[in-house]
Amino acid sequence: MKITVDSREFAECMGKIQPAVSVTKDKKETLESSVQIMMTKEQKVAEGYVGLAVAYDGKKQLFSMFLAGELEMEEQKKDIFVSGKRLCDISAAMNNGNDVPMTLTVDKYCLIKKGGSEVQVPLGEEPVIIFPTNDWYLRTSVDTRELTELLAKGARFFKPGDEGSVGNVCLCFDMGKKKVQVSSTDTFKLAFYGMDAEFEKSKILKEMEGKDAEPSATLDKDGDLLKVEVDGEQLKVLAKFLTGKNTEICVYEKYLYFKSGTDIALFMAKDISEKKYALAGVKNMAENHSRKAAIHVAPKDVLDALTIFDVANQGEDPFVYIARDESGALCLSTKGKISKTLVACEIKGDFQEMVLHSKILRQVTMNYEKEESMVIFTGKSDESILIVDKDDSEDFNIISRISVE
């Protein structure tokens, strides 16, 4: 088989699926790191033939299409399996800006040629590929820009490498409120964000309603809520992968399906049979917060004050001491107020001094950097800090207070 492709377009395709090419911790390829390339003479368009490239690393699977200007093969359909890491790396290296076509000739190995360069890439073993079927539970279509912003804010506070629920991102499909909700936590900080969505229920899901659903190891149905947990580290690749105007989301029992333009991503659902992400508890923390004091402040001012704090502190003590200054401003200081900076704000209610981790406060405040204002709610001495963009917002962040002697 011989395929002729545009080197730039093919490199873009390989770049999209490369995060799902299996490699070791030191970035070396494994026996399971093959990329599957599927070609068919039946998928012919005016510009050539449509090809499909797929990679799967056991936690996520990425599909991306490319165009072959010329296709030579005896069969009507043919799949080839090529060493994934090397194919992606060579494709990137040959994407050097000139318009010379690139060819892939497959026999005992894959010979990649462009101009005066040619590289032999070994063939790989056939990977395990999951092809989506019609047994989905729920689906929706949302604006891609809104979805990527939702993930950027709601899916960023998981604990990398943790095999428990704090290493996961919880995606909740609230059919009652018609919202897609995302939450993550590393136990020190927490985020919860949602976006509007219209849902289509499958026959499978409709038959489950009104009945006691059998427990699933990967799917949690609770009334109008359908919840799935995904490894947070894996989900990080999704924002760059989604390039179409809209994104279709389908909930399957064992994975989440995202389709944007012609690209498809599958993320394997985590086993929640032993421990689930405590989403109900997360919501209760916000709904039942005592909100004894409310601080209305500009996020930019808080970030600027933290920059001054970091310079003054020089990494000696990560804790920022927060109090109300005599002028009514918010005072951020090092221990003993050796160094301090004031932030203009409006404080309502019974505000008491508190201590927070400066890095965590910065990370959470970054979720509001595009906003003109945010509201910091404080409560009882043993309560965490609740932060929202406006008083009645359903989206929120939570920060644990630091207890010091």
pLDDT of residue 43: 84
Average pLDDT of the segment spanning 203-211? 83
Q: Which domain holds residue 299?
A: 293-399
User: What mean pLDDT is reported for the chain?
Assistant: 92
C-beta separation of 167 from 231 below 8 A: yes
Burial of 368 (0-12, 13-18, 19+ CB in 10 A): buried
Pair (148, 219) in one structural domain = yes
Pair (112, 8) in one structural domain = yes
- Measured distance CA(81)–CA(233) in Å, rounded: 26
pLDDT at 320 over 90: yes
Residue at a domain's end among 89, 121, 153 = 121
Pair (50, 86) in one structural domain = yes
Q: Count how many residues are written for the chain.
A: 405
Query: From the centroid of its chain, how far is CA 168?
Result: 10
Three-class DSSP category at 182: strand
CA 328, 329, 332, 334 dihedral sign is negative
What is the per-residue pLDDT across 34-53, written as a single tens digit (0 to 9) for each?
A: 999 999 998 888 889 999 99
Residue 287 inside a domain? The answer is no
Residue at a domain's end among 94, 121, 148 = 121
What is the per-residue pLDDT across 80-136, written as a single tens digit (0 to 9) for each?
A: 999 999 999 999 999 987 788 999 999 999 999 999 999 999 998 888 888 888 999
Average pLDDT of the segment spanning 229-249? 94
Residue 285 inside a domain? The answer is no
Pair (22, 143) in one structural domain = no
Token match 């804010």: residue? 153
For the chain, the farthest-separated pair of C-alpha atoms sits apart, in whole angstroms, at: 84
What is the per-residue pLDDT across 344-396, written as a single tens digit (0 to 9) for each?
A: 999 999 999 999 999 999 999 999 999 999 999 999 988 999 999 998 899 99
CATH number for the domain harbouring residue 251: 3.10.150.10
Residue 182 inside a domain? The answer is yes
Residue 405 inside a domain? The answer is no
Pair (146, 56) in one structural domain = no
Pair (90, 33) in one structural domain = yes
Pair (189, 72) in one structural domain = no
pLDDT of residue 165: 85
What is the per-residue pLDDT across 123-153, written as a single tens digit (0 to 9) for each?
A: 988 888 888 889 999 999 999 999 999 999 9
User: What token pair was written down for 251?
Assistant: 């909930």
- Measured distance CA(256)–CA(219) in Å, rounded: 10
Pair (255, 308) in one structural domain = no
Residue 129 inside a domain? The answer is no
Three-class DSSP category at 186: coil
Pair (265, 299) in one structural domain = no
Identify the weakest region by mean pLDDT among 23-37, 62-76, 199-213, 283-297. Answer: 23-37
- Measured distance CA(348)–CA(296) in Å, rounded: 8
Residue 130 inside a domain? The answer is no
- Reported as a pLDDT band with limits 50, 70 and 90, residue 161 is confident
pLDDT of residue 226: 95
- Residue type for position 300: K
- Measured distance CA(168)–CA(156) in Å, rounded: 10
Burial of 232 (0-12, 13-18, 19+ CB in 10 A): buried
What is the per-residue pLDDT across 3-19, written as a single tens digit (0 to 9) for each?
A: 999 999 999 999 999 99
Count of domains forming the chain: 3
Number of CB atoms found within 10 A of residue 309's CB: 21
pLDDT of residue 26: 67
Alpha-carbon dihedral 94, 97, 101, 102, rounded to 10 degrees = 10
CB crowding 5-27: b at 16 or more within 10 Å, else e? bbbbbbbbbbbbbbbbbbeeeee
